[in-house]
Structure 1
């Protein structure tokens, strides 16, 4: 039995359109996140040396005369056609997302009294900030701090769109009192787990932006040792200077090893937290949620291990980014459902 509380004009076609746009935005944002991962993994982050165009034009240079003109205008960064198109396709989809969020904001302004008003404006601010990070990624030549923040921005936009969709659907459900009480006790652990996953995603971004994904080529050990030589101070020096070009990374081997091992430790912490949450959810009676969270976690851990033992194959590395997004959305949804659940009397 489900119980929905719909406001005076929440069931209008206007609200339906907001919900449709929010769900479409979730799909589009996931595409943008995956395209961003693909662009980063094929080393195309500087495929276009300028922003928002590419070598001074709206599309990437493809014809012989266009490439010649681009090389003349940017002699220090000659055109590499296999790197220009991933960067520009990523920008096109990001531009579509910006237009979609603008449309959602306009619809929200037309009916200011409806739910999710504040969340939509937070979303708009996030998208504008994300566009700035996209520009800085190019102008600051793949500075790891900006690249990592750019990844987190994409995840934040995806999360906000999903929560807006959840709020518009008003998924408040009525559950037995005993199950309600047990789930309420899980709230602190659920929120801690979400925070741990966000930190782990940041560590993943830091690992990728510093080209440390292959710093350890074996598993579960690293260089045949459980605790190899590592330079944490240099690996996590967020005050590092902006170099002329960070493509390929600038850290020594021990610093990259420290980043990689820290990401593995983070994965272990997240695994313990998610499995604990799933086990307690099972005991509380939410067995579908328990199985779903455990399944997404198993998939994500498997992809992470495969990245190491298979030397970072492109499809698996891209899927690892998508898996992080799905795990985050699953946990956020679980938290939201706990928050909005009502005891059945």
Structure 2
């Protein structure tokens, strides 16, 4: 065996430690696992403790990490219900893993006997005790509420399950100069085109890698984004500069199925690799901020607002359901702030 895997607790989180000798191929492969991290202190890689990762590294499931037989049956029913409703595979995985955690916690109690008090105890004695984030708590709450709306013979009143109070966090925005430095950092045409398209159209990471050549309409100068978040199609304007860049890229790479493909023709480009492309650009541009791909989308929206674009159009371009989601960019736009004179200047 070229690696050893074991269950550990890291910063009060259940993780799987994976130890192996210095091997570039194994390092590359483990980096492809979602939320894989290197611990400089422990000198090992660690990944989330999930059923999938336990199977991947042949870790025997402990009895106390599995739901009861009844819980497993309910879990499978929930997965089938979500599939029938055509929820995305990512949403199904997220919701089912969240509900499974709740069922495991109450594995010695019949599901029909669970009450709102149990939900409250779970939040206090498991979520808060383990210092899980509010967003993670909200994710599990969403799964619990959705599931118990779909079944009968339950003592849980879904409408009385409260969500954690949300943190009011402003989106991270880059200046136009910073964006330009990031987009100009790569000499590789493919990498440059991917990052440029994300910014110029305000795309989410998954929206970019799902694009196909036919989604670029050069006659109408639009990009068609199909079945994005919320199962919605939308269109965004296609910049003439991006179209020129896309034509150069297409001549060089000649993609077959997806606009941006992996190492093998016809395969989808991985989100992990796209994140690595951004990290390389940040390093070359000497930008120290913890920029993510979503920062480019936030910057696109803010720069549109600062150039005078109506908020309603920005909402359509980003694919937001609610105008309240788009309105957050008014709090990071600097146009109005620049006209405010600080009283400090008069001292």
Which structure has more helix as a fraction of its residues? 1
TM-score above 0.5, yes or no: no
- TM-score norm. by structure 1 comes to 0.24
- TM-score norm. by structure 2 comes to 0.24
Which structure has more strand as a fraction of its residues? 2
